[in-house]
Chain A
Amino acid sequence: MTKTDSASSAAGSTDPRLDGHDEQDLEQHFDATIARDQRIEPRDWMPDGYRKTLIRQIAQHAHSEIIGMQPEGEWITRAPSLRRKAILFAKVQDEAGHGLYLYSAAETLGADRADLTQRLIEGRQKYSSIFNYPTLSFADVGVIGWFVDGAAICNQVPLCRSSYGPYARAMVRICKEESFHQRQGYELLMTMMRGTDAQREMVQDAVDRWWWPSLMMFGPPDDASPNSAQSMAWKIKRHSNDELRRRFVDMTVPQAEKLGVTLPDPELRWNAERGHHDFGTPDWSELQRVIKGDGPCNAQRMERRRSAHEEGAWVREAASAYAAKQSRRAREGAA
């Protein structure tokens, strides 16, 4: 995970040091490493497609964590108790941390941090569609922890075995922390469900609004996800979108029963024959709309991220100027 790693690996297959070696040999070595279930590390030779796919996936994941601070961050000042406020602070701080672990992993592939930020701000790279929905009540904070972080756990636990070492290691750290996120959300909801009728209605309303967007987090159905097969062959991804979605449903249904809420899907029922739940089909046209920028909060999220970046520019510049002055003084003092 060093810059020396990134700098040399960034050159990819155009690296002049390849001259002595047959590219076919290197590719065979790469394929064999993947086949043996060993990790690819930053300084290894890798096909351009593998590098590009990883950078895109890791960057998109990092952007999602960063944008993901916004929906819940809006509730920090309005949290109903100091305890909830402290928890929410810690959670939002974790999201920032997750984004930074992932940017760090992307940089080992030769990506540039400032460039990634710029791509996000200019809308050239995506983030998860889920963060384009509004948080209308404090119950949303609980439901996000339960559904959104629960879905993230389904997605991310298998990524701890992803073939690219730095990505897999970042996922290990992230998964440990996601468990806190999910549990605090569920506990928050349990507390509200023990409260008044109005509070129970808020929880059910939040569940109704977040259920389908949460199922969409796993991406389009397998037959409409053209890049999945290659990612699975490279062991970047370990399970298909539909498979992970099924797991999430199976995991969440008993939790909903315990909580005493209804999941808003009339087709949802246990299928004893398959040993899994049957469930309805999300509105894929909605997912496409939100991905293309037409969700309820896309413009707001992007504007917020852009203004945070621009308004922070003077801080970054002042810190650089201070560092330059200190190092000049140190040099003059030594001379």
Chain B
Amino acid sequence: MSSTEGVKDEWPLYEVFVRGKRGLNHVHVGSLHAADDRMALTHARDLYTRRNEGVSIWVVRSDHIAASTRDEKDPFFAPSADKVYRHPTFYDIPDDVPHI
């Protein structure tokens, strides 16, 4: 595993997602290295839930995640920027109309 011993396969990187309790989504908590999925789950339990932080864990190989690009100027999110009519506050309703 050391760089001086020549190239050996590193354990791949996994991203870890934990459901804190029932009723909540899984949330990304960090990453770890493991040889396979089962080891990744066991390590994730030992590393990220030592104090009842979770009731369910997902692990996924980091290189299996597709992500949007990092560029702030990327037009990827542009379509949502100019559609104010998608928000309830866009619409003027008289104050005396109840429950709306």
Residues of A at under 8 Å CB distance from B? 1-6, 8-9, 17, 21, 29, 42-45, 90, 93-94, 97, 100-101, 104-105, 107-108, 113-115, 117-118, 121, 166, 169-170, 177, 309, 313, 316-317, 319-320, 322-324, 326-327
| Interchain residue pairs with CB less than 8 A apart (10) | A8-B70, A21-B73, A45-B70, A97-B47, A104-B32, A107-B31, A316-B35, A317-B1, A317-B8, A322-B35
Given contacts A4-B66, A317-B8, contact A309 B32 (CB under 8 A): no
A118 and B2 contacting across the interface, CB-CB below 8 Å: yes
Which A residues lie within 8 Å of B28 (CB)?
1
Q: In angstroms, how far is the closest chain A Cβ from the Cβ of B52?
A: 12
B62 and A93 contacting across the interface, CB-CB below 8 Å: no
B13 and A313 contacting across the interface, CB-CB below 8 Å: no
Q: In angstroms, how far is the closest chain A Cβ from the Cβ of B24?
A: 17
Complex partner residue of B30 from A43, A115, A170, A326, CB under 8 angstroms: A170
Chain A interface SS verdict (over half)? helix
CB nearest neighbor in B for A41: B70
CB nearest neighbor in A for B50: A97
Which B1-40 residues sit within 8 Å CB-CB of chain A? 1-5, 8-11, 13, 15, 28, 30-33, 35-36, 39
Which A residues lie within 8 Å of B62 (CB)?
2-4, 6
Which B55-87 residues sit within 8 Å CB-CB of chain A? 62-63, 65-67, 69-73
How far is B31's CA from A106's CA once the two chains are assembled, in angstroms?
11
Complex partner residue of A4 from B11, B39, B67, B73, CB under 8 angstroms: B67
Complex partner residue of B31 from A1, A8, A29, A326, CB under 8 angstroms: A1
For the complex with contacts A8-B69, A101-B30, A323-B39, 12 further pairs of A-B residues with Cβ separation under 8 Å are A2-B62, A3-B31, A4-B62, A42-B70, A44-B70, A93-B46, A104-B31, A113-B13, A114-B1, A114-B10, A319-B36, A326-B36
How far is B72's CA from A168's CA once the two chains are assembled, in angstroms?
21
How far is B34's CA from A104's CA once the two chains are assembled, in angstroms?
13
A118 and B65 contacting across the interface, CB-CB below 8 Å: no
How far is B33's CA from A8's CA once the two chains are assembled, in angstroms?
19
Which B residues lie within 8 Å of A1 (CB)?
15, 28, 30-31
How far is B40's CA from A323's CA once the two chains are assembled, in angstroms?
11
How far is B72's CA from A21's CA once the two chains are assembled, in angstroms?
11
A93 and B65 contacting across the interface, CB-CB below 8 Å: no
CB nearest neighbor in B for A108: B31
A4 and B65 contacting across the interface, CB-CB below 8 Å: yes
Which A residues lie within 8 Å of B8 (CB)?
317, 320
Which B residues lie within 8 Å of A115 (CB)?
3
B2 and A29 contacting across the interface, CB-CB below 8 Å: no
A114 and B3 contacting across the interface, CB-CB below 8 Å: yes
Which B residues lie within 8 Å of A170 (CB)?
30
B65 and A319 contacting across the interface, CB-CB below 8 Å: no
